[in-house]
Amino acid sequence: EMSSSNTNTGGPSASAPAAATPAASGEEEEDEGDSNTLLTVHSVDLLKSKDGPNRREHHTEAYFSDKLIIRRGQTFQMWIEFSRPFNPKSDLIFPCLGCVFGTEPIFSRSTGIHISVPLVDVLEDGRWEMKIVEQKDKRVRLAVNTLPTASIGRYKVTVDSFSPKGKLLFPCTPNDVYMLFNPWCEDDPVYLDNEAERKEYVLNSMGKVYYGTEQQIGTRTWNFAQFEQDILEACLFLLERGQVAMTEWRDPVIVSRMVSALVNSNDDYGVLMGNWKDSYEGGTSPTAWSGSGDILRQYYKSSGKPVKFAQCWVFAGVTNSVLRCLGIPTRCVTNFSSAHDTDLSLTTDIYIDEKLEIIKDKTSDSVWNFHVWNESWMTRLDLPAGYGGWQVVDSTPQEPSQGSYRCGPTPVSAVRNGQVNLKFDTPFVFAEVNSDRIYWQKKPDGSFSQVHVEKNSIGQRISTKAVGSDARVDITHLYKYPEGSEEERIAVERASRFGSKPTLYPSPTGNDVSVEIVMDGTGPRIGGDAKLSIVLKNKSSNQRTASLLYEVMVMYYTGVLKSTVKKGQIPVTLKPSEQKKTGEYMKHLVDQGALMLAVTGRVNETRQILATQFNFRLRTPDLIITVRDAVVGKELTVKITFQNPLSQVLRNVLFRIEGLGMQSIRKIAYG
């Protein structure tokens, strides 16, 4: 970062590289105080106590470790004591963070992360920066900004000090810093905007796991233990075994997928060995575990020897612990009558012979009484808008995914709509919750034909623990539309076309009807009405009839769907070659920001499925700025006009003003 060729004559500044180069022999310049002596770092205090401001503000005071544990995208503070008073005109400091892998700083490797944090006058979000906020004699207090997309993990801190006399490096041993995901930071992909949900899905270390059958649901209490001694260290040790570069540890999609593979031991010496047999000799029965702490500590202290034994709820409990510990909002979910599709048909296939007896060696699909997995909350920047939010992460080893026993993250919203072409492992999860159970009978010539279909037996009473209480909440509606509804049938048939038996359902005989959504002008404003039009076009020479289902949903800008504003059904009749436009009005929309209109339907005559989505946002009022008499060297008057578009009083209005030459943001609390 330092440049020795500097011809700046405008005087040294806090970031002027010239101040860091040693003065030439015999031409030592005079500086204020003792600044012509070497600047040495005597000590660094990372303010890491559990009841101190860093740990409290970063919601990490519950972790047992006495190290500094911070969440990315948020400022933390530290004190540095020097050999003499720090002179901002001629001295420079650069705290450096290097990721640690095992016992070695990672920046010594080719995959390394080594961050030098620059000193600035004003901190800005989304950057590695630091600012001096207090100076006492030989000590300075720094506020350090971290990147909201920084790699999580363990960092070692060093401080480079530069003065006219030269440069010194101060290693801050044993001052390790642990960096975690930050659900409190709006720019972090794991951001969750509800404090009660953050407390439940990140900070709660006790939970409920459901088991049994849909008629007889049992409850286990589980201690996730994510803040206990050695658990954070065990979780990072686990990630190190994932053979994924630490530069990828910034992405919750990659980290959660990696954890789903590493919690089972099938192909990577992960945490737990599965056992669904009657004997648990040489290990612990899966029903004996009541928490994750002992499992993770045993794995960590044995340097990675798989712990025996686990079944689905144990895999899910440990996965929940690891992801919550790392800062990803996560919950345990139980699916009753859970299908295991082995042939990617997206159906649960049962084969019977001419005597109606099951052909066991051909019937490889199965239905579990219950199956427990996890959901983690994150934005999916790798997918189209609308697929962020809850993602299925399943570490129970059932089927290999891209060569490894892992599953997810799978967007729950994609499962609901049958969009199984979206990654990861959506066909498998779809089959678990919404496959049809199809009976195939063997014919005399050896082939099979469908003889019976059960359309509503798979995926019942999908359950998770409530926020803030021990009640059970049914979330089946997040995974599928009501059984037997037109939306649900469309989802099943859409999904089946991507499976290994795409001709299972009658294919549409024609694709002669098109559907699109159009918006008037530049779109609706906050407080106003929205009008969208659905345009249908019949390209055939015959009449077509259809029933359209529409739903308007609130969507965060990150693509996470939040709630439904309006839904309904529109019957449509199209004459030959007719185009028809139907308008949808939404009155007085407030507070929503971004929305999505989703339309699905089926043409009755041809069985063609119609589907389209349209994202739109509510425009905020313009700020009108007018300037009078701008003259060099004279005070400038600016008029800012804003009109409240709502029929209610706006309170605590704050104007934030910044411009070239203003140095920092000005705030006007208007009230």
Pick the closest to residue 316 from 300, 334, 294 (CA basis). Answer: 334
Pick the closest to residue 38 from 192, 165, 175, 161 (CA basis). Answer: 165
Q: Which residues contact 287 (CB under 8 A, 6 or more apart)?
A: none
In the set 99, 172, 312, 332, the catalytic residue is 312
Strands (E), 379-529: 389-393, 400-401, 404-405, 410-411, 437-442, 448-454, 460-465, 472-474, 513-519
Check the annotation: does 434 bind a ligand: yes
Q: Are 226 and 206 in contact (CB under 8 A)?
A: no
Tell me the C-alpha to C-alpha distance, in Å, between residue 582 and each of 530, 533, 551, 567, 587: 14, 5, 14, 15, 16
What does DSSP say about strands 348-352 and 437-442: parallel, antiparallel, or unpaired? parallel
The Cα 121–Cα 131 span in angstroms is: 6
In the set 58, 365, 371, 407, the catalytic residue is 371
Q: Which residues contact 12 (CB under 8 A, 6 or more apart)?
A: 18, 19, 89, 90
477 catalytic residue (yes or no):
no
Residue with tokens 């345990």, as numbered in its chain: 332
Q: How many CB atoms lie within 10 A of CB 581?
A: 10
The pair of three-digit structure tokens given for residue 599, joined into one six-digit string: 């339309």
Length of the chain: 671
Check the annotation: does 488 bind a ligand: yes
Q: Which residues contact 222 (CB under 8 A, 6 or more apart)?
A: 206, 207, 208, 209, 290, 291, 292, 313, 317, 320, 332
The Cα 336–Cα 456 span in angstroms is: 12
Question: Would you give the distance in Å from CA 68 to the centre of its chain?
Answer: 24
121 catalytic residue (yes or no):
no
Residue 300, phi then psi, degrees to nearest 5: -65, -45
Question: What's the half-sphere exposure (Cβ side, CA atoms, 13 Å) at 250?
Answer: 15
Pick the closest to residue 338 from 495, 523, 210 (CA basis). Answer: 210
The Cα 235–Cα 327 span in angstroms is: 11
188 catalytic residue (yes or no):
no
Q: Where are the alpha helices (DSSP H) in 475-559?
A: 476-479, 486-496
DSSP 143-161: EEE--TTPPPEEEEEEEEE
In the set 394, 407, 425, 512, the catalytic residue is 394
DSSP 454-480: ESSSSSEEEEEEPTTSS-EEE-HHHHS
Q: How many CB atoms lie within 10 A of CB 45?
A: 16
Q: Which residues contact 174 (CB under 8 A, 6 or more apart)?
A: none
Residue with tokens 């992360």, as numbered in its chain: 113
Three-state DSSP class for residue 602: strand
Per 3-state DSSP, the chain is made up of helix, strand and coil in percentages (nearest 5) of 15, 35, 45
Three-state DSSP class for residue 291: strand
**3-class secondary structure per residue, 168-198:** EEEEEEEEEEEEECCCCCCCCCCCCCCHHHH
The Cα 25–Cα 566 span in angstroms is: 77
Annotated binding residues for Ca(2+), written as ranges, equal 434, 436, 483, 488
Give catalytic residue positions: 312, 371, 394
Annotated binding residues, written as ranges, equal 434, 436, 483, 488
